[in-house]
Amino acid sequence: MSNALIEELKWRGLIYQQTDEAGIEELLNKEQVTLYCGADPTADSLHIGHLLPFLTLRRFQEHGHRPIVLIGGGTGMIGDPSGKSEERTLQTEEQVQHNVEGISQQMHRLFEFGTDKGAVLVNNKDWLGQISLIDFLRDYGKHVGVNYMLGKDSIQTRLENGISYTEFTYTILQAIDFGHLNREFNCKVQVGGSDQWGNITSGIELMRRMYGQTEAYGLTIPLVVKADGKKFGKTEGGSVWLDPEKTSPYEFYQFWINTTDDDVIKFLKYFTFLGQDEIAKLEQSLEEAPHLREAQKALAENVTRFIHGQEALDDAIRISQALFSGDLKSLSADELRAGFKDVPHVTLSNDTTNLVEAIVETGISSSKRQAREDISNGAIYINGEREQDLKYELSDEDKIDGEFTILRRGKKKYFMVTYE
């Protein structure tokens, strides 16, 4: 008997591997299932590369199942070798704790905690921190064969360049997590990215050896790959973070709205809670009127609203429209900083006030002759206002927050000018 949730996940392209496809469907059909997904606190914020497993966990919650969100305050002290070609740098206990607090706050945006069917937030340091070295070796290590561990991709790929005993044991710690949650919360399914398959199956194997036949399953989600083969979730400026201090809601919105036509329908299925009919309409719009970018707008609006809320989305749209129309006066200094973060930054001497000299000194125009031509032709804008006076002198009034000026040449070429 098929299961509506599994059918939806398949339609969305969210299932990569399952330890027992028929067993998982049967389990979901017969009971409210407790399942978990974890993240190690390698930074004080998640980035969008972390989103998919947790959004998938949230889909289980929408269908009446109970998610456990695990933050690896214990495993984060060790470091997961999965998907890494070299050893991680160990973090201090203070760093890990700081990161745990940051990620915990973000999980409250992604999940509903504290209700009957609400999510449960746990930190594996609470139980891993209680296991002594002798207990670890006797109670857990005895059940895990070295040959079994050497067969794991996450270990095999590292053998050539070397792997410390610390990271070698990581998979056992994650296995202990699954066993602990199974015993304490009756947790029967672990969800993770495709790189977590080895760690998930280790957990099921450890439970089988320690407790005999245990009802436990694993489900992994595919790695998000863009149509051009490039890594998802990175921009030229680095990772796209969920923390609004690291990636402003405007930049976050821009990341999604700039999704290519080749990727947008896949990402709507992956990252939004829009249904099949709504996505089918957007797919039709993409085919018939791609210039309207309705699919991209729906993607950007839905994901930004889900992560940052309606107010932040409204601000992101307002900033985008103001920048598109050139209406810079309507934006605050912080909004301008966010909006022009990725444009060329140039410096100008405080002594240079003449506009012709200023745009030559900053490299905006190639020569004085070119600069005079650009100004006369109306191609130069100061903070969104066209300036055609060759004798114009820049003053403190042109400095936003007393710090910077936005100069534009032509229709799209923006520069952020700071002074020294």
- Catalytically annotated residue among 63, 226, 234, 246: 234
pLDDT of residue 295: 95
Residues 84-126 have pLDDT tens digits of 767 778 888 889 999 999 999 899 888 888 776 689 999 999 9
Rounded to whole angstroms, the Cα distance separating 345 from 238 reads 17
Q: Do the bridges between strand 380-382 and strand 385-386 make them parallel or antiparallel, or are there none, so unpaired?
A: antiparallel
Catalytic choice (12, 47, 125, 293): 47
**Segment 184-215, tens digit of pLDDT:** 999 999 999 988 888 888 888 888 888 887 88
Q: Number of helices and strands (H, E) in the chain?
A: 19, 13
Residue 263: both structure tokens together = 């990727």
In the predicted model, residues of the chain with pLDDT beneath 70 are: 1, 83, 85, 116-117, 234-237, 342
Cβ-contact 30, 239 below 8 angstroms: no
Per-residue pLDDT at 90: 81
Q: CB-side exposure of 395: number of CA atoms within 13 Å?
A: 4
Q: Which pLDDT does position 277 carry in this prediction? A: 94
Q: Which of 12, 34, 44, 50 is catalytic?
A: 50
Residue 140, annotated as binding a ligand:
no
Task: Judge whether 411 counts as a catalytic residue.
Answer: no
To the query of whether residue 92 is one of the catalytic residues in this protein, the response is no
**Residues 252 and 46: beta-carbon distance below 8 Å:** no
Q: Which of 18, 20, 63, 88 is catalytic?
A: 88
pTM comes to 0.81
Tell me the C-alpha distance between 305 and 312, whole Å. 7
CB 69 within 8 A of CB 112: no
211 labeled binding residue: no
Place of tokens 């005999």: 212
The full set of domains in the chain, from first to last, is 4-221 (3.40.50.620), 234-327 (1.10.240.10), 345-419 (3.10.290.10)
**329 labelled binding-site residue:** no
Contact, 187 vs 214, CB < 8 A? no
Question: 175 CB contacts (<8 Å, ≥6 apart)?
Answer: 140, 144, 199, 202, 203, 205, 206, 207
Q: Does 234 appear as a known binding residue?
A: yes
- The reported pLDDT for the residue numbered 83 is 66
Backbone angles phi, psi at 320, to 5 degrees: -60, -45
| 195 included as an active-site residue | yes
Residue 202 is predicted with a pLDDT of 86
Distance, CA of 195 to CA of 133 (rounded, Å): 28
Residue 339 CB-half CA count within 13 A: 25
pLDDT at 68: 94
Nearest residue to 165 (alpha-carbon basis) of 91, 75, 87 = 87
Annotated active-site residue in 63, 84, 266, 399: 84
Q: Could you confirm whether 374 is annotated as catalytic?
A: no
Phi, psi of 414, rounded to the nearest 5 degrees = -100, 150
174 is an active site residue: yes
* Catalytically annotated residue among 34, 42, 220, 405: 42
Answer yes or no: 47 catalytic.
yes
Task: Give the start-end residues of each E strand in 248-370.
Answer: 345-348
Active site (annotated) includes residue 40: no
Under 8 Å between Cβ of 45 and 243: yes
pLDDT at position 234 is 66
Which candidate in 32, 105, 235, 347 is catalytic? 235
User: CA–CA distance from 104 to each of 48, 100, 219 (Å)?
Assistant: 16, 6, 23
Active site residue 345: no
235 is catalytic: yes
Active site residue 254: no
Q: Pick the catalytic residue: 75, 91, 171, 174? A: 174
